[in-house]
Amino acid sequence: MVSHPLFRATLIILAAVIGYEGISAMISDVADMRASVAAKTNAVAQAQPDGLAARSGYDRDTDRAVADALEMLRRPANGSLQREDVDRVGDTLRPALARAPHDALLWLGLAALETGRAPNSSAGAEPLKMAYFTAPNDARLMAKRLEITTRMSGPIDMQLKQLAEGDVRLMLTRQPDQRAAVVSAYRQASNQGKTLLEDAVRATDPSFLRLLRG
């Protein structure tokens, strides 16, 4: 990611509020996911008809917007989100998605934003499903997809539930290094999210339930 004085200053301010390690990890997560989906993004972009503004890379603003959306998701649901912050992130992600609707990471950011803003609503469900559909086999997105799904407080869409259960199944059986992410999601999940995770784990590896519940 290219360095920028304003971007560095923003990170310093955020670090003072939520801790340097936390914000550094979020930016690192975005960078890792970006690298994972970049090849897919470029391949799809090259297939776009002439005249369409296909997005071939990630700029500083969208990287920051995705990281900010994930940070907003993790704030306590106590009205601490500032309207101007929500608007700024949304105003960055939505035009970017209009240019690159094949970009799974942008859909993930929008899903995190909508879920953090209104966890009781279903506003985050559709962008999250798009994050699944545009990069269904990308293992690096699994933990974030699961985190967003299980933080939803309202009824979880059946299709989204099935997609999340598929992630849990793969994380437990083929991605053993991601088992800790399943436990982490459970620790922060809503009641509905905990039920989803318990059901998915019970169907895949019942012996993991004890560790899940800790």
State pLDDT tens for residues 52-76. Answer: 233 434 578 898 999 999 999 987 5
Distance CA 81, CA 104 (A): 24
147 compared with 38, residue with greater pLDDT: 147
Q: How many domains in the chain?
A: 2
Instruction: Identify residue 142 by its one-letter amino acid code.
Output: M
Task: Tell me what percent of the residues of the chain surpass a pLDDT of 90.
Answer: 63
The pLDDT score that the predictor gives to residue 42 is 45
Pair (48, 149) in one structural domain: no
Torsion angle in degrees (nearest 10) through CA of 67, 127, 111, 166:
-100
Instruction: Identify residue 6 by its one-letter amino acid code.
Output: L
Pair (43, 105) in one structural domain: yes
Pair (119, 169) in one structural domain: no
Pair (31, 101) in one structural domain: yes
Distance CA 20, CA 13 (A): 9
The pLDDT score that the predictor gives to residue 137 is 87
Pair (69, 143) in one structural domain: no
Residue 157 confidence (pLDDT) above 80: yes
Residue 98 confidence (pLDDT) above 90: yes
Cβ–Cβ under 8 Å, residues 195 and 213 = no
Which domain-ending residue is among 71, 103, 136? 136
Which domain-ending residue is among 74, 107, 136? 136
Which domain-ending residue is among 91, 107, 136? 136
Secondary structure letter of residue 56 according to DSSP: -
Range of the domain at 164: 137-214
Distance CA 35, CA 30 (A): 9
Pair (121, 16) in one structural domain: yes
Pair (56, 115) in one structural domain: yes
Pair (90, 169) in one structural domain: no
Whole-model pTM over 0.75: no
Pair (19, 76) in one structural domain: yes
Q: Rounded mean pLDDT of 187-206?
A: 97
Residue 49 confidence (pLDDT) above 50: no
Pair (8, 113) in one structural domain: yes
